[in-house]
Amino acid sequence: KTVTAETPQKTPEATIDISISNPERVIFPESGETKGDLASYYAAVAPLMLPFAGNRPISLVRCPQGRSKKCFFQKHDSGTFGPHVHRIPIKEKDGGTEEYLFVENAEGLIACVQMGTIEFHGWASRADAVEQPDRMIFDLDPDEGLDFRQCARAALDLRARLADLGLVTFAMLSGGKGVHVVVPLKRGHDWETHKNFAHRFAEAMSIAEPERFVATMSKAKRKGRIFIDWLRNQRGATAVLPYSARAREGAPVAVPIAWDELEGLETAKLYSINDADALVQRASHLRGWGFADQCLPRF
């Protein structure tokens, strides 16, 4: 099966020449989407996704037999992805070097899907300068039982505090339970600075409103609160990338949204892989909804 992508910047329709084996295999048993459906989704959103996800080290959630069977989180090259999935050697803490993966085009995304990938997670830095983060992420993780509106309100509050510091942000629905508040940054600072800032900011929020926020991972302390997960901002950590599908019931996807849109939303699973057309449509309206220029990455 050959999938077709819209690449508006170049030719209107470019064929991606990656064959998908077993396109009829059901990957999402609750709602019935197949491996072919997933490949078509990624082909359609590739032009939206790659500016956020291309050219940065990635980890993959692979579920070759579908989301309800064994899945694994893959960080390193296994030599089986073919020519469109690139390798980048990165130094490990122990002094050794490991090969990480990155993609730069729709072929790369689809080659990963062919290998059973559902989710794409990425570093907060790009492959050409892995020691210089360019994106800070506050992953808001609500305690069980908190409704989505509280998480959305929290995201808006983080936005306001970050704006006080001169930082422009956007929100992303995770496709799971929460919202990520994302701060696109100019490169130039190191990981230590990046992590410290994220940690202190999360702590300041929790000190100001301890009944709403926690900045430590412990589940016990989360009771009725939102964990501001700043740990996405350490060297080697990843967060789910914009437009990634999720290996969760209903085939939801992670979606960047404008702040104006977040108010009033009731779920982080607003879109699924069946909504590629709507996502492509809405992407062209993001700016009009208040999605700042600084938040639209160039690729």
Interface positions with ligand ATP (CB under 6 A): 73, 121, 139, 141, 174, 176-178, 229, 238-240, 268
- How many residues does this entry show for the chain? 299
Give the one entry of Mn ion, ligand ATP, none that residue 37 binds, where binding means its C-beta sits below a cut-off of 5 to 8 angstroms depending on kind: none
Residue whose C-alpha is closest to residue 153's, from 136, 178, 130: 178
Report the C-alpha gap between 205 and 189 in whole angstroms. Answer: 23
Please tell me the chain's helix, strand, coil percentages from 3-state DSSP, rounded to the nearest 5.
30, 25, 45
By beta carbon distance, the residue nearest ligand ATP is 176
Among 37, 139, 261, 275, binds Mn ion (CB under 5 A): 139
How far apart are CB 121 and Mn ion at their closest, in Å? 11
Near Mn ion by CB under 5 A, which window of 9-17, 185-193, 221-229, 281-289?
221-229
How far apart are CB 140 and ligand ATP at their closest, in Å? 8
Q: Which secondary-structure segment (H or E) carries 15?
A: strand 13-16
Q: Which is nearer to ligand ATP, 136 or 240 (CB)?
A: 240
Give the one entry of Mn ion, ligand ATP, none that residue 235 binds, where binding means its C-beta sits below a cut-off of 5 to 8 angstroms depending on kind: none
How far apart are CB 4 and ligand ATP at their closest, in Å? 29
* Secondary structure of 116-130 in HEC code, one letter for each residue: CEEEEEECCECHHHC
What is the contact mask toward Mn ion in residues 160 to 189, using x (rule: CB under 5 A)?
A: ------------------x-----------
Q: Which is nearer to ligand ATP, 39 or 231 (CB)?
A: 231
Q: Which residues pair with 201 in a beta bridge?
A: none
Asked whether the beta carbons of 184 and 171 are under 8 A apart, the reply is no
Residue whose C-alpha is closest to residue 183's, from 207, 210, 165: 165
How far apart are CB 254 and ligand ATP at their closest, in Å? 7
Q: Which is nearer to ligand ATP, 3 or 177 (CB)?
A: 177
How far apart are CB 178 and Mn ion at their closest, in Å? 4
Q: Which is nearer to ligand ATP, 50 or 253 (CB)?
A: 253
Give the one entry of ligand ATP, Mn ion, none that residue 268 binds, where binding means its C-beta sits below a cut-off of 5 to 8 angstroms depending on kind: ligand ATP
How far apart are CB 151 and ligand ATP at their closest, in Å? 8
> CB-based contacts of 82: which residues, under 8 Å, 6+ apart?
18, 111
By beta carbon distance, the residue nearest Mn ion is 229
Give the one entry of Mn ion, ligand ATP, none that residue 231 binds, where binding means its C-beta sits below a cut-off of 5 to 8 angstroms depending on kind: none
Q: Which is nearer to ligand ATP, 1 or 212 (CB)?
A: 212
> CB-based contacts of 217: which residues, under 8 Å, 6+ apart?
227, 229, 231
| Residue 277, helix vs strand vs coil | helix
Structure-block tokens of residue 92: 């490990």
Residue whose C-alpha is closest to residue 252's, from 38, 7, 22, 3: 38
Per rule CB under 5 A, is residue 141 in the interface with Mn ion? Answer: yes
Q: Which is nearer to Mn ion, 220 or 293 (CB)?
A: 220
DSSP sequence for 66-99: -TTS--EEE-B--S-S-TTEEEEEEE-TTS-EEE
Q: Give the interface size with Mn ion as a residue count (CB under 5 A).
A: 4
Structure-block tokens of residue 114: 């062919």
Residue whose C-alpha is closest to residue 67's, from 260, 280, 272: 272
Binding site for Mn ion (CB under 5 A): 139, 141, 178, 229
